[in-house]
Structure 1
C-alpha cells in the first residue's frame, strides 16, 4: 500500500472523523444536559450558599506527575487514560525518579533491575544500547517508548534514553498492539520524561566513581509567568567516564528543555532533547571456554579489550522535538494530540572476538564491523476521551488515530582482523578489507485506528474492551544492487479485553486477554504475514489500606505465532508455522510499611518453549531466557534523632540458568549479585554512596552462541553530592 501526501491526509481526516463520530452522541448528550441545567438555573430563584474552602495536604498523582514516594498509584501506559494502577487489568511496574536517584541508576535498564518479568542485561554490560527482554521476548527494536510514542530502531540506528531525564520508567508486560500498533509480544518500556510543574525543586548534582567516572547534572524550572500559566524546565547532564573494559570510554552530553502553557481547559507542553554519546564496545564477544568453562590459561579477564584502538568508536547524536496538547471541550469530553519528530545518527567501527584461534596459546580470532546509519521518525497520536453514562453504567471511551513515518539510511560492512592474545594483548594488528553487508534505505509507515471503552458497572466491576485496525507498509531501496526496490504491505486487527473486581479491602483480582502483531521482513523474495501474539493473563493486585504499598501477582500464557521456519517440502523456502510459548508467574511488591522504610521484592518464573518448528528446535527453550529470576531491595532512613536523614539500603538480584544456543547444548550459569548504598540528607544537601555488584562477581549475563558470551557489570562505585533549593 502506497501512502501519498493526499492519501495520508485523507486517512488522517477520516480517522479523526470516525473518532469524533464515536463521541458525537455523548457530546450532544453532554451539551443537552448543560443546556437543561442552564435553563433550570434561570427559572430558579438564586440563593447564596456559603463558600466551602477545602485544603488538601497531598497532591494527587497523575500519569505523568512525580511518583509520591516509591509506590506509584496512577499510570496511562496501559490505557492511554489516567487510570489507577490497581484497577488496570494488566501486569506492570513503575519506577519513579526518587527510586532512580536513591539507587543512582545510570541507565533506564538499571532502573528496572528490581522489577519482575524483564531481563535488562540481554547482552551483558553495554554502554551503547538498551537491550532487554520481557517475558522471554526481545523488545529493544520496537519496545522502547518516550512519553507514549515509539522510538523504533532498525539495524544500528538505535535510540537510547538518559535515566536522569526520566520522571518515571514504566514497564508494561504482554502484547500492546491495541494501544500502540506493531510491537513484539513481550511488552514495552515507556519513559515518561521530566516536564514543568509549579512546585519544582531545583537541583545541581556532582557524581564521581571508579573507572574514572565524573558527571555533573542539573534540573531547574518553575514559573515563567507569575500566575503560573507558563512553566519551564531545563534538565541537563555531562558525563566523562571510562568503563570496566580497557580503552572504552562512556561520555555523554544531554540537555532537555521543556515549556508548558496552560489555562483552565487547555494545556500545551513542548518537549525537546539533545543527546551526544561517545563510547565503544564494552561487551566483548567471548567463547564459552574462558568465560563459562575453564581455559588452559584461566578465565578471560573482564577488563580485556578485544578490539583495536585505531579501529574503535561508537558515536551517536540523537535529538527530538515534540508536544503534548490537551483541550477539555467540556467536563466530559477531552481532545489530546501528542506528536514528535526524532532523529538519530550512529557512526560505529569495531573489532570483536569470533572464537579461539588457539585456546592453548590464548589467541582469539577477530572480525570487524563498520557502519554508518541514521533514522528520522515522525509520530502523531490523536485521542478523544469521552466520559458518559448509560443508565447506571459509566463509560470512559477513548477513540484515536495515530500515524508513524520512519526513514532509515543504513550502511554496514564486515571483515576480519589479525588474532589477539587476550591474556597479554598487543595492539596494532592488521585490519583486512571490508565487504558490504548491506546498504539500503528503508521507509516504514503505520496508520492505526483504535477504540477502548472502560466500563464501570458499579463500584466493584470494571470491564475494558479495545480494538484496533492497522495498515503498514515497508519500502526498501537496495543501494548495493543498483537501487533495486522491494515493498511489503500489511494490515492487522488487534483486540484486547480485561475485567477487574474491586473489593472493599484493597484486593483487585483481574482477568485479561491481549493481542499483538509484528510485520516480518521479506526473505529471498518471499513476503510474509505479520507475526502475531496472544496472551491470557489472570492476576490480582492488592493496595493495603493501612500503609502505602502495592502487591501484584500475575499468571500468564503468551504465544508468538506465525514464526518463520524451514518449509519441510523445500529447504530453500520458509513457512510461517513456527510458534514460541512463554508462560509463567510473576510476583512483585513495593511497600512503605512504616515511615522511612521502603522495600521491593520481585520473582519471575518463565517456562518458555519452542512449540512448533521445522528446524529441529521443537521442545527447546529459547536462547537466553532464564526460568527463575528474583530480587529483593530495601532502604531505611532515620526519621528522628541527631542522625535524622541518614539512610542505608541493600539489594540482592538472582538470575537463573539459561540456555546459550538454539540447540540447548550448554547453559549459562546462574548468578547472584549484591548492591548496597548509604545516603545522608541534611538541610539542602544530599550525600550518597552506592555500589553495584558489591562482591565484584565475574558473571556471564547471557550467550547467543558458543563464541558469543557477554560479561555482566562488575563492581561499580558511585559517590554523589546534590544541592536542592
Structure 2
C-alpha cells in the first residue's frame, strides 16, 4: 500500500502539441504576429474566440456555428486533451464548465451537469445514440478523438429520449485532404502506467484519403490491483471524387477492462483509528478510515471487460448549391461483462466488511440509418436554411445477470477470494425506433435569426424477463409504444459583430425511472417531460484577444417515478434546477493565456419519494450535484526566450450530497495540475506533469445504489511524456 504513495516518473496521453510552435517561429526569424498564426493549427490552452465561429454539428444539423446556436456549447479539442494530460473521455469532459464525473466501473463515464446525472445525460458517438450512457459508454482513449462536444440542457429534439441535462458527443478523428501528418506517443509512469499511441492522416490520391489511429493504455490502478487497460483502433477511408460528393467508410474497435475499484467503505467513528478529515460528514457519524484508502475489497477474479466494433458508412452529396443530401448507415456490436463484489458494508457487530456478489453480461446489436436533406433558399426575401430527415434503428439487447451469495472479509487485509457460480437470469430488450425531424434557421433581419426544430418518433419497445429456471416472468415483462414529440425555438441576435445574445425554449423526454434498457412493467408509464428556458451571451472582446460566454437557465422535469405506497410507485414526481454559467478566455500577452469558468446550480426535487429506498426527498438536492464549480487554466510560452512552456490548472467542486435523503454530505474540494514542456526540436517535445499536485483526498462520487461506500478520487501522480509529430 505504501507503494501507492510514491511519486514515480510517469508518462500518459498528455502529449504536448504546441510548445515548439512559437519558439520555432522565433528561431526562424518570424515576427510575433507570424508566430501567433501557428496557433491556428496547434493549440495550447484552447482558444474559444476561434471556436465561437466554428461549425459544431452537436448543437444543430443546420451547420450553425457555436455563436449562432441558441444554446450553450462547450468543446475540448484533441490538442487541448493531449496538452492537459487527459487520457480518457471522462477526464477530458470533467474539465469543462459545470461538469463532474463519477468514476465508478458500474456506471462508466457517468456525468453530472445542470442538476442532472446518469441517464439524464446522453452520450453520443459521432452524433449517434447507441444506448443509455450508464449501460453502453466506456472511458475511451482520447488519442483517437478529434474533440468532445457538450450541448447543455434538453437535447431530445436532436437525439430522442433522454438528454434532459445535456448531451456529450465524442467525435473521432477523420481523414482529410489537408496533407500527410502523424503523431506518436510513448509513456510510462506511476502506478505502473503505460500509454502508447500512433496515428496519422495520409492523402492517397486526389480523390482518396485515409486515417488510422491506434492507442493502448494500462495501469495497476491507484487502489491495489484495480487498474484498467484498453486498446482502441480507429480507421477511415474518405473518397471524394468531386467537390459535391464524399463517401466515408470508418470503423471503431475497442477492447478494454475498466478499473475494478467500486469504493471505500464508510465506518462508524468508533471503529476508525485514523479518520480522514474534511472529505464528508454524515448524520450517523460515518467516516472513511485512512487505513482503508488503498485497500481492494473486490474478488481476485473480478472482471469489467468489453469489446465492441462499430462500422459506419457516411455519404454526403450536394447536387446543387441549394441542396445537400446526407446519409449514415451503421452497425454496432458490443459484448460486456461485469463479475465483481461491488458492495462493501462495514458490519459493526463483527468488525468485518460484508461483500455482495453481482454479475451481468451484455450482448448488444444495433443497426441503424440516418438520412437528411438540407435546403438553402429564400423565404419571403429572407435567407433560410431547412433540414428534414429520418432516424431509424433496430436494437437487440440481451442482459444476463445474477446475485450469488456474498461473504465477509477482514477490514484491513481482505482475502480476495473468488466469485463463485454464474447462475443467470436473462432479460432481452428489443426495439424499433423511427423518428422524423426538422430544423430551420431563418434570418429575420441581418442581425436576428430564428432557429427552430422538432422531432416526432415512435419507439416500439419489448422488455422480457426470465426467471432463474428459464421460465418467462410475465409480471415484469411488457410491450409498449412510446410516442415522444419534442421541439425547441430560439432567437439569436447580433448586438455587434463581436457580441451575440440568444434566448431559447426546448423540451425533452426520458424514462420515468430506470433507463430505457431496464424499465420493467412496474415502471410502465409514459415518458417524463422536461422543459428548459435559457438565455445567454457569446462575445469576442479586447479586439479579438478574449472571449466570454454566459448563460442562465431554468429546467423542470415532471412525471418522474416516485413511491406512493410501500409497494406502489407512480409518475407524479418532479425535479427542477436553475443556474448560471460563465466561461471565458484571454490572451493577456502574446505568450500568456488564461481560461476560466464558474457555474452555480440550485437543484431540488419537487414532490418526490425515492422509489429505491422509500426516502421522503421532496425539496432535497439530487445526489452528486454540486452547488458551485470552477475551473482555471493558464499557460506561458517561450519562458526566458527558451523553447519552454509551463502552465497548470485548478478545478473546484462545491458541496454535494451522497444520497437522496441528503444525510451524507460530500465536502468541497479543489485539485490542481502543473506541467512544463520542453521542445527538444520542432518535431519532438518532452513534458513533465503532476496531477492532484496538493495530494488532496476527496470524494469524487457516491453511488446511491452502494450507500455504505464512497468513491475516492485519484491521489497525486507525477508523469512525463514524449510526443513526436511527423
Q: TM-score range by the shorter chain?
A: 0.7 to 0.9
Structure 2 gaps, min length 5 = 1-35, 269-274, 611-615
| Aligned: 1:552 with 2:549 | yes
1:26 aligned residue: none
Task: Write the distance in 2 (CA, Å) between the matches of 1:525 and 1:618.
Answer: 22
| Aligned: 1:691 with 2:686 | no
2:461 aligned residue: 474
Q: CA deviation at 1:279?
A: 3.9
User: Which residues in structure 2 correspond to 1:530-679 (within 5 Å)?
Assistant: 530-544=527-541, 546-567=543-564, 571-613=566-608, 616-638=616-638, 641=641, 643-644=642-643, 646-679=644-677
1:713 aligned residue: 714
| Aligned: 1:81 with 2:81 | no
2:17 aligned residue: none
Task: Write the distance in 2 (CA, Å) between the matches of 1:174 and 1:167.
Answer: 23
TM-score (norm. length: structure 2): 0.85
CA contact (8 A) 1:146 1:191 kept: yes
When residues 519 and 140 of structure 1 are mapped into structure 2, their CA distance, relative to the original with a 3 A threshold, is closer
Q: CA deviation at 1:268?
A: 1.1
When residues 504 and 108 of structure 1 are mapped into structure 2, their CA distance, relative to the original with a 3 A threshold, is same
2:226 aligned residue: 248
CA contact (8 A) 1:114 1:632 kept: no
Task: Write the distance in 2 (CA, Å) between the matches of 1:67 and 1:261.
Answer: 32
Higher Cα Rg, which structure: 1
Q: CA deviation at 1:372?
A: 1.8
Q: How many residues align?
A: 655
Q: CA deviation at 1:128?
A: 7.3
Structure 1 gaps, min length 5 = 1-56
| Aligned: 1:453 with 2:440 | yes
2:28 aligned residue: none
1:47 aligned residue: none
Task: Write the distance in 2 (CA, Å) between the matches of 1:612 and 1:381.
Answer: 39
CA contact (8 A) 2:45 2:635 kept: no
Task: Write the distance in 2 (CA, Å) between the matches of 1:513 and 1:272.
Answer: 37
TM-score (norm. length: structure 1): 0.85
Task: Write the distance in 2 (CA, Å) between the matches of 1:697 and 1:402.
Answer: 46
CA contact (8 A) 1:346 1:372 kept: yes
Task: Write the distance in 2 (CA, Å) between the matches of 1:583 and 1:462.
Answer: 26
| Aligned: 1:354 with 2:344 | yes
Task: Write the distance in 2 (CA, Å) between the matches of 1:585 and 1:300.
Answer: 40
Relative contact order higher in (CA < 8 Å, ≥ 6 apart): 2
User: Which residues in structure 2 correspond to 1:26-45 (within 5 Å)?
Assistant: none
Q: CA deviation at 1:239?
A: 2.1
Q: CA deviation at 1:159?
A: 4.2
2:182 aligned residue: 202
When residues 288 and 496 of structure 1 are mapped into structure 2, their CA distance, relative to the original with a 3 A threshold, is farther
User: Which residues in structure 2 correspond to 1:97-246 (within 5 Å)?
Assistant: 97-120=78-101, 122=102, 124=103, 126=105, 129-140=108-119, 143-153=122-132, 156-197=135-176, 198-225=178-205, 227=206, 229-246=207-224
Task: Write the distance in 1 (CA, Å) between the matches of 2:483 and 2:591.
Answer: 52
RMSD after superposition: 2.7
| Aligned: 1:94 with 2:75 | yes
C-alpha distance after superposition, 1:425-466 (max 9, x if no partner): 3433x7566675x42111122211111111112221011011
Task: Write the distance in 1 (CA, Å) between the matches of 2:314 and 2:546.
Answer: 31
Task: Write the distance in 1 (CA, Å) between the matches of 2:570 and 2:382.
Answer: 47
Task: Write the distance in 2 (CA, Å) between the matches of 1:59 and 1:383.
Answer: 36
Q: CA deviation at 1:398?
A: 1.0
Task: Write the distance in 2 (CA, Å) between the matches of 1:66 and 1:268.
Answer: 29
When residues 268 and 295 of structure 1 are mapped into structure 2, their CA distance, relative to the original with a 3 A threshold, is same
SS at match of 1:84: coil
Q: CA deviation at 1:61?
A: 9.4
CA contact (8 A) 2:107 2:134 kept: no
Q: CA deviation at 1:517?
A: 1.1
Which segment drifts farther, 495-504 or 153-162? 153-162
